[in-house]
A and B are shown apart, each in its own frame.
Chain A
Amino acid sequence: RKEVEQDPGPFNVPEGATVAFNCTYSNSASQSFFWYRQDCRKEPKLLMSVYSSGNEDGRFTAQLNRASQYISLLIRDSKLSDSATYLCVVIKGSQGNLIFGKGTKLSVKP
C-alpha cells in the first residue's frame, strides 16, 4: 500500500464551484499533515497545515480524521488561479522529511 494515496484527477470544474480532494495515509504513526500546491514544473508551496480540529484559511478548509487516516481539502468559490496540482503530505515520526502523495490535478475553467 502506498504511504500517501490521492485520486490523481483531473478535476475539471467551472469558476465558482466547490471542489473537494481526499487523501489517505498508511502509517498510523504519521504526526503532521499538510496540503501543498504545485504549479506545472514549479516547486511545491505550502498551502496549509492540517489539524485534527480542522482548519480554515479563506476559501480553503482542511480536515484530518486520524481514526480513518484520512485527510481532505475543500476549496470553495474556485478561481482560475486555483488550477494546479494539490499534494497531500505527511511527516512520519520526528525526522521532518516530507512524504508526498502523487497529487490531484485541478483545472478551473471560465
Chain B
Amino acid sequence: EPEVTQTPSHQVTQMGQEVILRCVPISNHLYFYWYRQILGQKVEFLVSFYNNEISEKSEIFDDQFSVERPDGSNFTLKIRSTKLEDSAMYFCASELAGVEEQYFGPGTRLTVT
C-alpha cells in the first residue's frame, strides 16, 4: 500500500539554526499539507500546497517557514531560524484531488535546544 514517508524521524537542532524536514507524498496525490503537534497538544494546520504554490497557511506559518516541492517528488518544510517553541512533531500529509482523505506520514520529531 502506498504511503507518505518523512525524514528524518528525529531532528535535534540548536536555537537559531535552519532545519529542513522532508516528505515524499504518495505519487499520484496532488494536494500536500504540513501539520504540527506540540507534545500534549492538538494537531495544528500549518500550510497547504497545490499546483506548486501555497493554497492556504495558518498564523503559525510566519516568515520563518517556507515550503518547496523541488523535484516533483519531495515536499519540504524549512524553518529558517528555529526557536524553542518550534519543538514539536511535524506531520506531512497528501491527498488525491477531490476525495478529502488525507494520508499522514509518520512525522518528524523536531527538538530545538
- Which residues on A are within 8 Å of B, measured CB to CB? 32, 38, 41-46, 49, 87, 91, 95-103
Decide if B102 touches A98 in the complex (CB within 8 Å).
Answer: yes
Residues of B within 8 A of A49 (CB): 100-101
Does B18 make an interface contact (CB < 8 A)? no
Cβ-neighbour of B95 out of A44, A45, A96 (below 8 A): A96
Decide if A95 touches B107 in the complex (CB within 8 Å).
Answer: no
Nearest 10 Cβ contacts at the A-B interface? A43-B104, A100-B43, A97-B45, A102-B42, A95-B56, A100-B42, A97-B48, A44-B104, A43-B106, A43-B107
Decide if A95 touches B48 in the complex (CB within 8 Å).
Answer: yes
A16 vs B40: C-alpha distance when bound (angstroms): 28
Decide if A97 touches B42 in the complex (CB within 8 Å).
Answer: no
Contact bitstring B27-50, A, C-beta under 8 A = 1, else 0: 000010101000001111100100
The count of residues in chain B whose C-beta lies closer than 8 Å to any C-beta of chain A is 24
Additional pairs, 19, CB under 8 Å, beyond known A96-B31, A96-B33: A41-B89, A42-B106, A43-B106, A44-B43, A44-B104, A46-B101, A87-B42, A87-B43, A91-B100, A95-B56, A96-B102, A97-B33, A97-B48, A98-B45, A100-B42, A100-B43, A102-B41, A102-B42, A103-B42
Q: Which residue of A lies closest to B91 (CB)?
A: A43
Residues of B within 8 A of A32 (CB): 100
